[in-house]
Chains A and B, each alone.
Chain A
Amino acid sequence: MALDKTGIAKRIAQELQDGWYVNLGIGIPTLVANYIPEGIEVEFQSENGILGMGPFPFEGEEDPDLINAGKQTITARNGASFFDSALSFAMIRGQHVQLTVLGAMEVSQNGDIANWKIPGKMVKGMGGAMDLVASAENIIVAMMHSNKAGESKILKACTLPLTGVGCVKKVVTELAVLEIKEGKFHLIERAPGVSIEEIISKTEGDLVVPEFVPEMKL
């Protein structure tokens, strides 16, 4: 069965390593913070100026001066720090943040990503996404395999305006974990009960399928 958003977040959380600083994008990536594996300590960075982001505040304890990059009220953990936007992006550009998780509208087999604009329809802006994808060594994209019309978002080449080129290395969808290597998608894992045939049929880009594809363990 295909995963729900929580399942995708749980699978991505397995990629976390002890001692990492991690930037989580808006949407599914935010949920990753709820499934940190036991025995592992990570610090979450939000690009509007906090390291050590904690969970949402209890009702009545919201502080309008304390938000994340999604403009949601948050808390600060013990050991947190605040800083300005230039320093925040110095952390990102300077590759001090070990992992970036973000959403996408399209990903291509050479690692391009599009997630900020649909010409003529929607222009919200790139926010910090272009800075994040251009500099992060380790980028995981959390997304659905197809759009609402059933068209694949895992493509040979992106059709929408790009956010970054050749930067994505791993994609986790409701169906599969894919790695991007040598200009192709490689099928690493499939969601429990999802057939390889279904993944192949919903992937427009070139997909390398090994003889044995394990199911994700969630």
Chain B
Amino acid sequence: MNKVVKDPVAALEGIQDGMTLMVGGFGLCGIPENAIAQLVLMGTKNLTCISNNAGVDDFGLGLLLQAKQVKKMVSSYVGENDEFERQMLSGELEVELIPQGSLAERCRAGGAGIPAFFTPAGYGTEVADGKEVRVFNGKPHILENALTADFAIVKAWKGDTEGNLIYKATARNFNPMMAMAGKITIAEVEELVPAGTLDPNQIHTPGIFIQRIFQGEKFEKRIEQRTVRTKE
């Protein structure tokens, strides 16, 4: 089952105004850079983006915010982006903040056919407003619904022509769950290899979750907080 498309243009075909997208990554780590650049070129508007963060002003999903392509962000932490904060405080941008573990599990649930689940996270806070509360083992939990998306766009280190994916280090983060939760999932990889090249024992995301895969042309992999120590 060959899922390879030649470039981001072909990969993102069918994404339209008003759609809901999941975009993998944590901060700028493990984001589909090439697909995001193509989304900016396409100029698609009124998008709902489900992504743990919103990039920085001039990179990652920040580029879509700059171009006013996003109607609503669904995230857990958005602290590194001035344009985001401006649009949010002025009311131009709708924002739903979700505890990080609930966001991850809601994506996983969406891909796994679990419509909702109970979690203690957020009980007694404004996150629980309007949500069903139930006590298990003496502890209150809130009901969280699964999330799905019209398109999920994920980034992996290596992928094969069948769509099997391997991620590198902490660039894995939200990518595997989002890959499961997209009606159509697009994988952008650093290295695309023929089926049979990757060790089946080492696959993180099986190809069944991937509909389209392409090799990114270049990866800037910008570092958000460069922290180092000096050799003594």
Q: How far is the CB of B223 from chain A (nearest CB, A)?
A: 5
Q: How far is the CB of B108 from chain A (nearest CB, A)?
A: 4
Q: Which residues on A sit within 8 Å (CB–CB) of B104?
A: 84-86, 88-89
**B169 sits at the interface (CB 8 A):** yes
Q: Which stretch of B1-9, B11-19, B95-103, B206-214 is in the interface?
A: B95-103
Which residue, of B104, B108, B123, B231, has the highest number of chain A Cβ atoms within 10 A?
Answer: B104
Q: Which single member of B78, B175, B230 contacts A84 (CB below 8 Å)?
A: B175
**B221 sits at the interface (CB 8 A):** yes
Q: Which single member of A46, A68, A123 contacts B88 (CB below 8 Å)?
A: A123
Q: Which residues on A sit within 8 Å (CB–CB) of B157?
A: 65
Scan residues 48-89 of chain B and give those whose CB is less than 8 A from a CB of chain A: 52, 75-80, 85, 88-89
Q: Which single member of B95, B171, B174, B225 contacts A65 (CB below 8 Å)?
A: B171
Q: Which single member of B88, B119, B174, B227 contacts A85 (CB below 8 Å)?
A: B174
**B162 sits at the interface (CB 8 A):** no
Q: How far is the CB of A114 from chain B (nearest CB, A)?
A: 9
Q: How far is the CB of B154 from chain A (nearest CB, A)?
A: 11
Q: Which residues on B sit within 8 Å (CB–CB) of A67?
A: 26-27, 29, 170, 223-225
Instruction: Tell me, in angstroms, the Cα distance from A63 to B221 when the chains sit together.
Output: 9
Q: Which residues on B sit within 8 Å (CB–CB) of A68?
A: 170
**B172 sits at the interface (CB 8 A):** yes
Task: Give the interface size bracket for A toward B.
Answer: 35 or more
Q: Would you call A64 and B125 a contact (CB within 8 A)?
A: no
**B226 sits at the interface (CB 8 A):** yes
Q: Would you call B76 and A127 a contact (CB within 8 A)?
A: yes
Q: Which stretch of A71-79, A99-107, A208-216 is in the interface?
A: A71-79
**A126 sits at the interface (CB 8 A):** yes
Q: Which residues on A sit within 8 Å (CB–CB) of B171?
A: 65
Q: Would you call B170 and A58 a contact (CB within 8 A)?
A: no
Q: Which stretch of A36-44, A49-57, A197-205 is in the interface?
A: A49-57
Q: How far is the CB of A94 from chain B (nearest CB, A)?
A: 11
Query: Closest residue to B27 on the A side, CB-wise?
Result: A71
**B126 sits at the interface (CB 8 A):** yes
**With A64-B223, A93-B121, A127-B77 in contact, is A82–B126 under 8 Å at CB?**
no
Which residue, of B222, B224, B228, has the highest number of chain A Cβ atoms within 10 A?
Answer: B228
Q: Would you call A126 and B226 a contact (CB within 8 A)?
A: no
Query: Closest residue to A63 on the B side, CB-wise?
Result: B169
Q: Would you call A125 and B101 a contact (CB within 8 A)?
A: no
**A48 sits at the interface (CB 8 A):** yes
**B122 sits at the interface (CB 8 A):** yes
Instruction: Tell me, in angstroms, the Cα distance from A129 to B103 when the chains sit together.
Output: 13
Q: How far is the CB of B196 from chain A (nearest CB, A)?
A: 24
Scan residues 120-138 of chain B and give those whose CB is less than 8 A from a CB of chain A: 120-127
Query: Closest residue to A58 on the B side, CB-wise?
Result: B231
Q: Which stretch of A11-19, A147-155, A162-170, A181-189 is in the interface?
A: A162-170
Instruction: Tell me, in angstroms, the Cα distance from A61 to B171 when the chains sit together.
Output: 17
Sample of 14 A–B contacts (CB below 8 Å)? A50-B170, A58-B230, A67-B223, A69-B26, A70-B225, A82-B169, A85-B104, A85-B174, A124-B78, A125-B97, A126-B77, A127-B77, A130-B121, A134-B120
